[in-house]
């Protein structure tokens, strides 16, 4: 239960297909996390259509979060929003809602880096303190760890993100969105019935990796119609997950950190979890995975990172609240980590 003297932050997430509002207390209790997901009629996310969805649902999602948290708007101390990276029209819609709320309630505004929020919600919900993090989602694939005041990037994708790779293949294979089930999860179900490992491109370059060649090869095999779909899904997962696991393992060996954290939408995948658990155990590190409801994009992670920022002196004046489409995590100072 919330205490009457507590401070509350409302966070707005809108970088891509999800519009989400979270409310957290300043000491890290998550009171609400309400979301609405935009599902394209066909194909991938259309940024303007997604933004239109966000604008249409914003009021209802805000109300739902406030009701769940049992908070009145004037009780809020702080408004946080995803300032980037992400899709321009989607980011701008969330930022507009956040600016309007902050101005109307006369409360401070904090722009949050979306990728850092995925790391921070992982730490908050699992208790990890200083992990090597694999952040894998629809738009990002990053291996990072804290060093000298920032989250440093040890490795990343050179082209498409892991979640995007899985989603594009699933769509090519005719897998349909089921309510409440992301395409990556549908592909995971098919992969569980795979029996044969088909050889596909495996591309790790230094500490970075490339997934587009793997995707093209898998789609080419699919179109030839000579392989079982289950075997292709299994093989795609095995190759892609091995690549991100290899890079994470090398970052772990280099940094000698004692924790591994898996976060982002693809973190829900059991096979990926087991690969990462394996390398963590081999290096004597503990393994942590963000709970499923905070794996995919969510407002609670923005609210919590807003609290961390604000309580360490960071606010975002209106004039500096423009969205940052390609805002890298290693450009952000992190004063709240020792
Ligand atoms: P996000 O971008 O963080 O909202 O995460 C969405 C991405 O996570 C999409 O690419 C989904 O297909 C992917 N995803 C969600 N659940 C799973 C799963 N069980 N296995 C693989 N990918 C998943
Ligand atoms: Mg999403």
pLDDT tens, residue by residue, 83-142: 999 999 999 999 999 999 999 999 999 999 999 999 999 999 999 999 999 999 999 999
Q: Is residue 149 in some structural domain?
A: yes
Q: Provide the 3-class DSSP secondary structure of residue 15.
A: coil
CB of 13 within 6 A of ligand 1: the answer is no
How many Å apart are CA 257 and CA 329, to the nearest integer?
Answer: 19
Range of the domain at 237: 130-292
pLDDT tens, residue by residue, 288-310: 999 999 999 999 999 999 999 99
* 283, 139: one domain: yes
The pLDDT > 90 percentage for the chain reads 95
pLDDT tens, residue by residue, 18-45: 999 999 999 999 999 999 999 998 889 9
- Average of per-residue pLDDT across 148-170: 98
CB of 138 within 6 A of ligand 1: the answer is yes
Residue with CA nearest ligand 1 atom 8: 265
Residue 18 C-alpha to ligand 2 middle, in angstroms? 5
* 305, 285: one domain: no
* 42, 173: one domain: no
The 3-state DSSP composition of the chain as helix, strand, coil percent (nearest 5) reads 45, 20, 35
Burial category of 32 from C-beta neighbours within 10 Å (exposed 0-12, middle 13-18, buried 19 and up): buried
* 134, 261: one domain: yes
- Average of per-residue pLDDT across 224-253: 98
Total domains present in the chain = 2
How many Å apart are CA 133 and CA 67, to the nearest integer?
Answer: 33
> What CATH number is associated with residue 77?
3.30.420.40
Q: For residue 179, what pLDDT is reported?
A: 81
Q: Is residue 281 in some structural domain?
A: yes
Q: Is residue 338 in some structural domain?
A: no
The pLDDT confidence band at residue 1, using thresholds 50, 70 and 90, is very low
Q: For residue 42, what pLDDT is reported?
A: 86
* 158, 184: one domain: yes
Q: Does residue 2 surpass a pLDDT of 90? A: no
Q: For residue 4, what pLDDT is reported?
A: 52
Q: What are phi and psi of 85, to 5 degrees?
A: -80, 160
Q: For residue 127, what pLDDT is reported?
A: 98
* 280, 143: one domain: yes
The pLDDT confidence band at residue 5, using thresholds 50, 70 and 90, is low
Q: For residue 292, what pLDDT is reported?
A: 96
Residue 20 C-alpha to ligand 2 middle, in angstroms? 10
How many Å apart are CA 57 and CA 36, to the nearest integer?
Answer: 7
Residue with CA nearest ligand 1 atom 21: 184
CB of 259 within 6 A of ligand 1: the answer is no
How many Å apart are CA 95 and CA 89, to the nearest integer?
Answer: 10
* 270, 287: one domain: yes
């Amino acid at each position: 239960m919330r205490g009457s003297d507590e401070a509350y932050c409302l966070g707005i997430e809108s970088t891509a297909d999800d519009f989400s509002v979270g409310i957290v207390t300043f000491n890290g209790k998550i009171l609400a996390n309400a979301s609405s997901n935009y599902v394209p009629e066909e194909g991938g996310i259309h940024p303007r259509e997604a933004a239109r969805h966000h604008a249409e649902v914003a009021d209802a999602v805000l109300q739902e979060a406030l009701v769940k948290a049992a908070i009145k708007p004037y009780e809020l101390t702080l408004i946080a929003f995803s300032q980037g990276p992400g899709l321009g029209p989607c980011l701008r819609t969330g930022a507009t809602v956040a600016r309007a709320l902050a101005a109307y309630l006369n409360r401070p505004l904090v722009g949050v880096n979306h990728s850092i929020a995925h790391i921070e919600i992982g730490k908050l919900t699992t208790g990890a303190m200083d992990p090597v993090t694999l952040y894998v989602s629809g738009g990002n694939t990053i291996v990072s760890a804290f060093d000298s005041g920032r989250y440093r990037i040890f490795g990343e994708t050179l082209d498409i993100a892991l979640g995007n790779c899985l989603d594009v293949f699933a769509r090519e294979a005719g897998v349909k969105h089921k309510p409440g089930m992301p395409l990556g999860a549908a592909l995971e179900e098919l992969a569980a019935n795979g029996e044969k490992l088909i050889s596909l491109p495996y591309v790790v370059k230094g500490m970075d990796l490339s997934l587009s060649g793997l995707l093209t090869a898998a789609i080419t095999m699919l179109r030839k119609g000579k392989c079982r779909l289950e075997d292709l899904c299994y093989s795609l997962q095995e190759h892609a997950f091995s690549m991100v696991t290899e890079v994470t393992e090398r970052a772990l060996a280099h940094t000698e950190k004692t924790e591994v954290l898996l976060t982002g939408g693809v973190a829900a995948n059991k096979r990926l979890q087991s690969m990462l658990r394996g390398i963590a155990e081999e290096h004597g590190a503990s393994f942590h995975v963000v709970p499923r409801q905070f794996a995919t994009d969510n407002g609670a992670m923005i609210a919590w990172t807003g609290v961390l920022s604000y309580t360490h002196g960071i606010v975002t004046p209106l004039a500096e609240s423009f969205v940052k489409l390609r805002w890298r995590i290693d450009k952000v100072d992190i004063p709240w980590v020792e």
